Amino acid sequence: MPELTWPGKRLTESTPASLITEAVVFPRGQGYPSDQPRNRLLQGDNLAVMRSLLPEYEGRVDLIYADPPFFTNRKFHARIGRGEDSRKPEQWKLAEGYQDNWDGLDAYLQFLYERLALMTRLLAPNGTLYLHLDWHADSYARVILDELLGPDSLLNEIIWTYHGPSPIRTAFNRKHDTILACVKGPKYTFNADAVREPYNPSTVKTFASSSKAGFGKIPNLARGKVPEDWWYIPVVARLHNERTGYPTQKPEALLERIILASSNPGDMVADFFCGSGTTPLVAARTGRRFLAADETFRAIHTTRKRLAETDASFTLERVSAPSMHFASTTIRRASETTFDLRLSDESIHLGNSADVDYWEADPDWHGKTFLSADQAARPARRGEIRRELNIKVGRRVCVRLVTVKGQRFQVELNV
Ligand SMILES: C[S@@+](CC[C@H](N)C(=O)[O-])C[C@H]1O[C@@H](n2cnc3c(N)ncnc32)[C@H](O)[C@@H]1O
């Protein structure tokens, strides 16, 4: 079998991360269920994170979606402003997104290879790995996947097409990505009926007009068809409600098709390059469990905000200790940052919320793992953040806040 090589190609036994549980999040003030959540959101380099997951999850993850940097050699920013003019990028409010810069193709291939190798170990025997790339590196990745999973593993080469403006005048506009769907074995999950879509109206018309149409088989027009391996799904644009401002955010519709086709309710779905959290969000909404990781705080924070709108509880874990500023309140004024927090028996009220992007509270804080009992997030496009958390307060309350720029604060209040 042909194999791709590059200088320095190797698979090392890298060190596993030691993960600290920073918080357990119970969305929407539902209270604390007695069971530990089975969903995990993890911050850290996914190489160390995946390695630390191996003892518990090797061969047990039913679906992995991987959307790594594409080898564009660019830096991507997150947009944190609202209502800005798309045509005036010099006026956009930006925050750090993620880097896609490399010391050459060898470095990129090595990065991908080591991580794909761990993903294939985590994948269950009936599992599917979807690798999302584009023309920069998809052909190399195809050969790497053949090596890791075998030459018969490719289930589909999916072309995701979209449209949009482009400055290119010297070639055709590059408006598709490639998603390589690979299976680990012959008994893979594929729920054709879960992803059927209506036939094209012209097909319906043809069959309605002649009983001899087609190639001998009359399709079940009412049931719809299994989609082709090219998908037209619009990119997440500025005016779309799902937009978070995180760069290269993928559409929920894309992940919905992948998750519905290649997993069942209760299955474990993983995304170790989760970015804005599209995969865990759709997994939670469709009744799957999830493992999601990213190395940047902005990605984890964006994901956590989106997950707070679901019913899924999850642990928030990270490789090293969190860096948090201790702030004052109207009750305790210890530093220059003041949050106007007021407690009553059944709620916590936030007075000045102008630059608060997210806040949450542990109503019975013991000083160890933060148990987030209710959360409020500033909507990405319009609307205000909820200024009341409805929770019964205990003797000591801890509130965590994140500003739009990504600064973190923790406020402790004795009742
Ligand atoms: C293309 S984006 C993913 C976008 C995501 N699918 C979404 O819908 O928002 C790639 C992500 O990989 C993350 N990333 C890059 N290298 C990483 C690493 N070594 N470990 C964990 N995450 C990494 C980046 O921070 C970035 O968020």
Residues 195, 225: one domain? Answer: yes
**26: Cβ below 6 Å to ligand 1?**
no
> In sequence order, what DSSP letters do the residues of 123-186 get, joined into one string?
EEEEEEEEEEE-TTTHHHHHHHHHHHH-TT-EEEEEEEE--------SS----EEEEEEEESST
pLDDT of residue 354: 75
**315: Cβ below 6 Å to ligand 1?**
no
Q: Is residue 389 in a domain?
A: yes
Q: Which domain holds residue 352?
A: 325-414
pLDDT of residue 132: 98
Task: Report the alpha-carbon distance of residue 64 to residue 246 in Å, rounded.
Answer: 21
Which of 49, 294, 320 best tests ligand 1's pocket when mutated (most atoms within 8 Å of CB)? 294
CB burial of residue 393 (10 Å; 0-12, 13-18, 19+): buried
pLDDT tens across the length of the chain (415 residues): 889 999 999 998 878 889 999 999 998 777 676 678 999 999 999 999 999 999 999 999 999 999 999 999 999 999 988 878 778 888 889 999 999 999 999 999 999 999 999 999 999 999 999 999 999 999 999 999 999 999 999 999 999 999 998 888 999 999 999 999 999 999 999 999 999 999 988 888 888 787 777 766 778 888 999 999 999 999 998 888 999 999 999 999 999 999 999 999 999 999 999 999 999 999 999 999 999 999 999 999 999 999 999 999 999 999 875 556 655 443 333 344 578 888 888 889 998 777 899 999 999 999 888 999 999 999 988 889 999 998 888 889 999 999 999 988 898 888 8
Q: Is residue 3 in a domain?
A: no
**247: Cβ below 6 Å to ligand 1?**
no
**71: Cβ below 6 Å to ligand 1?**
no
Residues 76, 151: one domain? Answer: yes
**273: Cβ below 6 Å to ligand 1?**
yes
Residues 211, 358: one domain? Answer: no
Residues 347, 235: one domain? Answer: no
Residues 259, 366: one domain? Answer: no
Last residue of a domain, one of 318, 339, 372: 318
**359: Cβ below 6 Å to ligand 1?**
no
Residues 277, 349: one domain? Answer: no
Residues 202, 164: one domain? Answer: yes
Residues 149, 233: one domain? Answer: yes
**45: Cβ below 6 Å to ligand 1?**
yes
Q: Collapsing DSSP states into helix, strand and coil, what is residue 382?
A: coil
**84: Cβ below 6 Å to ligand 1?**
no
Whole-number Å distance, alpha carbon 274 to ligand 1 midpoint, is 5
pLDDT of residue 336: 46
Residues 250, 397: one domain? Answer: no
The answer to whether 306 touches 244, Cβ cutoff 8 Å, is yes
Residues 177, 291: one domain? Answer: yes
pLDDT of residue 400: 93
Residue indicated by tokens 């790995």: 129
Last residue of a domain, one of 298, 318, 338: 318
Last residue of a domain, one of 299, 318, 337: 318
pLDDT of residue 327: 56
Nearest atom in ligand 1 to the alpha carbon of residue 98 is: 25
**153: Cβ below 6 Å to ligand 1?**
no
**248: Cβ below 6 Å to ligand 1?**
yes
Residues 220, 361: one domain? Answer: no
> What pTM, to 2 d.p., does this model score?
0.94
Which of 14, 45, 98, 246 best tests ligand 1's pocket when mutated (most atoms within 8 Å of CB)? 98
DSSP 327: -
Task: Provide the strand spans (E) within 256-344.
Answer: 268-271, 289-294, 314-318, 325-326, 328-329, 338-339, 341-343
Residue 216, sorted as left (phi over 0), alpha (psi -120 to 50) or beta, turns out to be left
CATH code for position 351: 2.60.40
**Domains contained in the chain, number:** 2
Q: Is residue 20 in a domain?
A: no
Task: Please report, in angstroms and rounded to a whole number, the separation of the first and last CA atoms in the chain.
Answer: 68
Q: Collapsing DSSP states into helix, strand and coil, what is residue 108?
A: helix
Whole-number Å distance, alpha carbon 3 to ligand 1 midpoint, is 27
Residues 336, 260: one domain? Answer: no
Q: Is residue 13 in a domain?
A: no
CATH code for position 197: 3.40.50.150
Q: Is residue 265 in a domain?
A: yes
Q: Is residue 4 in a domain?
A: no
Q: Is residue 5 in a domain?
A: no
